[in-house]
A and B are shown apart, each in its own frame.
Chain A
Amino acid sequence: MGRLVTGVRAWIDERFDLAGIKALAQKKRVPVHRYSYWYFLGGMTLFLFGLQVLTGALLLLYYRPGADEAFESVQFIMTQVQFGWLVRSVHSWSANLLIFMAFAHLFSVLFLKAYRKPRELTWVSGILLLFLMLGFGFSGYLLPWNTLSYFATKVGTEIPAQIPIVGRPILLFLRGGEEVTGSTLTRFYGLHVAIFPALATLLIGLHLALIQWFGMSVPPSVEARWRARPQEKKGVRFFPNFVLRELMAWYVALGLLGRWRHSSHGAWASRPIRSPRLLRVSNPSGTSCSCSRR
């Protein structure tokens, strides 16, 4: 076993500069000061995003977009597929936690002034990512095709329609027609599983490359003190010291997810069962459908 690992490592090392990569990983350091804990939040957001990609890919195996099938397929995942309830619940709850973490990350960067020169572009790419995450949330919310998601999308697409001149075209583009129908569902599905993930891959790549390029930002107060007394300057290696600590934080996040699922599973599961048939909206005439009946 050990020989196999050594052999594989040697094979790769002959072709790529493994030692160089290793040296790079060891070179990266994370500054240590009283605000160091805030450095966890970005990694935490990234971890939750990874969790979303994994659970989202799994949901794709059973989810079927379409006005006639979406709701049933989600019910199928929740009741028939082994651990389907878990995969879907983790996807749903970690999406919420992801938005929370993204905002916490944003505020930590804001208050520690990490956005200042030369890191403006890192900040901008982060803001774009935040909007993209909100887009994921908005598009994903419709996919279960239950009453709540239907009305949330109806209202949510009505809001940009109030913008003068461009509002109506935006509404038509988002809904794929006058009303929220199966066309809206397939549109949001396409955005949610193809277009947004592609954009996210690009933006996250850029965001991480910029962080790698500039290194970790040190808050101004700490920077000033370190300039006055350089012997106080401290740091740890990114790998393994920081990564292992971050890993601990990830476990805490997973624990939170488990906790949430258990405390609110009942209400959450019953929600789509309330009135699924009302959502069979195949009413292209634009008149209000039976959806308002409760």
Chain B
Amino acid sequence: MFPASGISDAGPRSDSTNTARRRFVNILLGTGLTASAASFVYPILRYLIPPKVPDLGRDAVLAAHIAEMEPNTAKTFRFGSRPGLLVRTASGEYRGMSATCTHLGCTVQYRSDLREIWCACHNGMYDLNGRNISGPPPRPLEVFEVQVRDNDIFVRRKPEA
């Protein structure tokens, strides 16, 4: 074990043979180390990707009960992992939409004084159909389907167009 010098037994071979052999061994060592490093890094990178939280899909979410919704009020509810906004307009209609502002992701709220939807972060405004009408929001809010069954108000994603 442990020869004092790796090439002491090389004997009378020429220097160029030794250099070639050394290069060959170095390439073997280098590819071996690189391949094993890749095999360690790959699972780690995959591990770092967070697993997908199951999406709601078309499942309906119980957003509110009839009793708690006066006209010209709104309620924020959990829609999967994100907030949703249920608005009862002054005329008594229900409107459901995503409460995540399309600008930078703040949670929007209903302004009963303006009868519009307002984002407090950067003063973005949406109308009651979720359309962005002023301020920085680039896109309308995602509008959901609202169903009233008995005393419960259910909200679900609209079918893909």
Is B one of A's binding partners? yes
Contact in complex: A58, B1 (CB < 8 Å): no
Chain A residues whose C-beta falls within 8 Å of the C-beta of B1 in the assembled complex: 32, 36-37
Contact surface of B with A, Cβ cutoff 8 Å: 1-2, 4, 6, 29, 36, 43-44, 46-51
* New A-B contacts (15) at CB < 8 Å, excluding given A76-B51, A83-B43: A32-B2, A32-B4, A36-B1, A36-B2, A58-B44, A58-B47, A80-B51, A82-B43, A82-B49, A82-B51, A83-B44, A86-B47, A234-B4, A236-B4, A245-B2
How many chain A residues touch B (Cβ–Cβ < 8 Å)?
20
Measured in the bound complex, the distance between the Cα atoms of B49 and A61 in whole Å is: 10
Q: How far is the CA of A84 from the CA of B43 in the complex (A)?
A: 9
Q: Shortest beta-carbon distance, A34 to chain B, in Å?
A: 9
Which residues on the A side are within 8 Å of B6 (C-beta)? 241
In the complex, what residues of B have CB within 8 A of residue A251's CB? 36
Identify which of residues 8-61 in chain A touch chain B, using a CB-to-CB cut-off of 8 Å. Answer: 32, 36-37, 58, 61
Provide the residues of chain B in CB contact with A235, threshold 8 Å: 4
Q: Is the CB of A81 within 8 A of B47?
A: yes
The interface residues of chain B lying within 8 Å CB-to-CB of A83 are 43-44, 46-47
User: Per DSSP, are chain A's interface residues mostly helix, strand or loop, or mixed?
Assistant: helix
Tell whether A142 is near chain B: CB-to-CB under 8 Å: no
Could you tell me the distance in whole angstroms from the C-beta of B111 to the nearest C-beta in chain A? Answer: 38
Say whether A129 faces chain B, with CB atoms less than 8 Å apart: no
Instruction: Say yes or no: B46 contacts A82, CB within 8 Å.
Output: yes
Are the CB atoms of A234 and B51 closer together than 8 Å? no
B29 CB, min distance to chain A CBs, angstroms: 8
Residues of A within 8 A of B29 (CB): 244
Instruction: Determine if B2 and A81 form an interchain contact, defined as CB atoms under 8 angstroms apart.
Output: no
Q: What residues of chain A have their CB less than 8 Å away from a CB belonging to chain B?
A: 32, 36-37, 58, 61, 76, 80-84, 86-87, 234-236, 241, 244-245, 251
Q: Which residues of B contact A87 (CB under 8 A)?
A: 43-44, 47
9 A–B contacts, CB within 8 A, in A order: A58-B44, A58-B47, A58-B48, A81-B51, A82-B46, A82-B51, A83-B43, A87-B47, A251-B36
Question: Would A236 and B43 count as touching, CB distance under 8 A?
Answer: no
Given A86-B43, A251-B36, A61 and B48 contact (CB-CB distance below 8 Å): yes
Q: Is the Cβ of A236 less than 8 Å from the Cβ of B44?
A: no
Give the CA-CA distance A36 to B4 in the complex, in Å.
Answer: 13
Closest 7 CB pairs of A and B: A83-B43, A82-B46, A32-B2, A80-B51, A83-B47, A83-B46, A234-B4
Residue of B nearest to A86 (CB): B43
Smallest distance from the beta carbon of B131 to chain A beta carbons, Å? Answer: 38
User: Once the chains are docked, how many angstroms separate the CA of A244 from the CA of B36?
Assistant: 15
Closest CB-CB distance, B25 to chain A, in whole Å?
11
Q: Which residues of A contact B49 (CB under 8 A)?
A: 82
B60 shortest CB reach to chain A, Å: 25
In the assembled complex, the Cα of A244 lies from the Cα of B4 at a distance in Å of 14
Chain A residues, Cβ within 8 Å of B44? 58, 83, 87
Are A84 and B47 in contact, with the CB atoms below 8 A? yes
CA distance A82 to B45 in the complex (A): 9
* Pair B43/A234 contact, Cβ less than 8 Å: no
Which chain B residues lie closer than 8 Å to A61 at the CB level? 47-48
Bound complex: CA of A144 vs CA of B48, how far in Å?
A: 20
Please measure, in the bound complex, the distance between the C-alpha atom of A228 and the C-alpha atom of B6, giving whole angstroms.
27
Most chain B CB within 10 A, of A37, A80, A82, is at A82
User: Which one of A58, A86, A234 lies within 8 Å of B2 (CB-CB)?
Assistant: A234
B29 to chain A: closest residue by CB: A244
Smallest CB-CB separation from B6: which chain A residue?
Answer: A241
The chain A residue sitting closest to B49, CB to CB, is A82
